[in-house]
Amino acid sequence: MSDQRLYEGSPAAAITAALGAPLGPGRLGVVVARPGVGKTAILVHLALDQLLTGHAVLHVALRDSVEHVRAHYGEALRTATGAGLRDAGAAALAVERHRMIHSWLDRGFDPAQLRSHLGMLAELAQFRPKMLVIDGLDEHADFGALASLVHEIGLPTWATVRALDGEIPPAARAAASTVIALFPTGRTVGLQIARPGARPDPLPLVLDCTTLLVASPTATEEGRVHHEVTPADCTLLSGGANGAETAFGIAAERWGMRESNFTFEGHKQVRDRGRHLLSPRELAAGDVSLVYVSRRLSRTYANESGLIKKVLQTLWHMVSRAQQVFVVGQIQEDGTVVGGTGWSVELARMWNREVWVFDQDRTAWFRWDSVAWVPGSPTINSAWVCGTGTRYLTPEGQAAIDALFDRSFGRATD
């Protein structure tokens, strides 16, 4: 399997080359970014780099279920296969054979418990990883204790850290031997490296924000990557509610796209293809103060512990995973969008997503260009697409959704 790791644009290979050497035994490497930039995808590619050469990896997921983690690996393998990975079947078998997933979804992370778990895996399952990856730390984690554990067990360890402002937490920088910060630049993702006692420096590469593979210099123009995707490449992230979300889902199924429809206990979901029931802990990951939301959207949201807050938390999961966001609604004079849907637009703007709104009053699409809403004609050109909007879908809104898919994928039928 030694040649399995050789697929064009592997971010793991590029990062290792940029660092000058692989992460050493007992060393902690940290990947930092705002939500949705691509931390988990990078972590999975780093793990694949080991798995495809027959080295065992323990993947510790702090926020995702085992099934969700498996989906990330499946997506990475599809991407690698499209980039030249040889023998996809053998690669998938190698991943399953050498990878162990441990989900901490229902409890807080404790390095001491991880130490015990590693001992149990070695004793009872004869599983001794060559690399440890930890996905989902926040900026308040005890990085000192984690670095001590990593040094004790002697494993190269990569961990992701969610930083809401995109800045490297000082505690993470102090504890890690290597910190890589991801930041979006149009349709590419840039990388910076920070080592102890040194200022962050940019790495000489950028990643395609859709695939997270290294973008070739000839593929970029003013920081933007030009590419086409097929429906089979894409996943629609939505909520399956009545109205715009159902219309997005029907169009996605008609064109052969995958769906992931997020919901929660007690939520009325009309469309459940690809249903993803969010646990209380997953909902908490998207927690937000309704006072803050009210201030951002210039309107009042109440019901702090009830339905409205859970809907906003669900929108967080949809937008944080998306590279493009499409919304049907109404743009107000202050630039916000009417209703709870407006929070998905605010998240997309805060996280620098490509976001489009079809204004049903003006019957036109508008894109946020960092300053104002600009009219245009959008197409789907990313693998992870959020589709949401008003429950009160007009015939014009329905037609706009259908035309979006036809315009994006109609070339596939030529």
CB atoms inside a 10 Å sphere around CB 136 = 22
- Give domain 231-413's CATH number out of 3.40.50.450, 3.40.1190.20, 1.10.1060.10, 3.40.50.150: 3.40.50.450
Q: In the prediction, which pLDDT does 102 show?
A: 93
Below-50 pLDDT ranges, the chain: 1-5, 218-227, 290-292, 304, 412-414
> Across the strands, what pairs with 162?
33, 138
**Rounded Cα gap, residues 245 and 271, in angstroms:** 8
The tokens for 402 are 């259908």
Whole-structure pTM value: 0.62
pLDDT reported for residue 222: 40
Residue labelled with tokens 């349709």: 187
| Beta strands 364-368; 354-359: pairing state | antiparallel
**b/e 297-320 (16+ beta carbons within 10 angstroms → b):** beeebeeeeeebbbbbbbbbbbbb
Using CB atoms within 10 A of its CB, is residue 201 exposed (0-12), middle (13-18) or buried (19+)? exposed
Could you state, in order of their start, the residue ranges of all structural domains in the chain? Answer: 11-225, 231-413
Question: Helices (DSSP H) in 306-381: which residue ranges?
Answer: 307-320, 341-350
The reply to whether domains 11-225 and 231-413 share a CATH topology is yes
- The answer to whether residues 36 and 8 touch, using CB atoms and an 8 Å cutoff, is no
- How many helices and strands (H and E) does the chain possess? 13, 18
In this structure, are strands 384-389 and 324-329 parallel, antiparallel, or unpaired? Answer: parallel
Tokens describing residue 414: 């030529």
In 3-state terms the chain splits into helix, strand, coil percentages (rounded to 5) of 40, 25, 40
Q: pLDDT value at position 228?
A: 59
- Look at residue 145 in the predicted model and tell me its pLDDT: 95
Q: What is the CATH number of domain 11-225?
A: 3.40.50.300
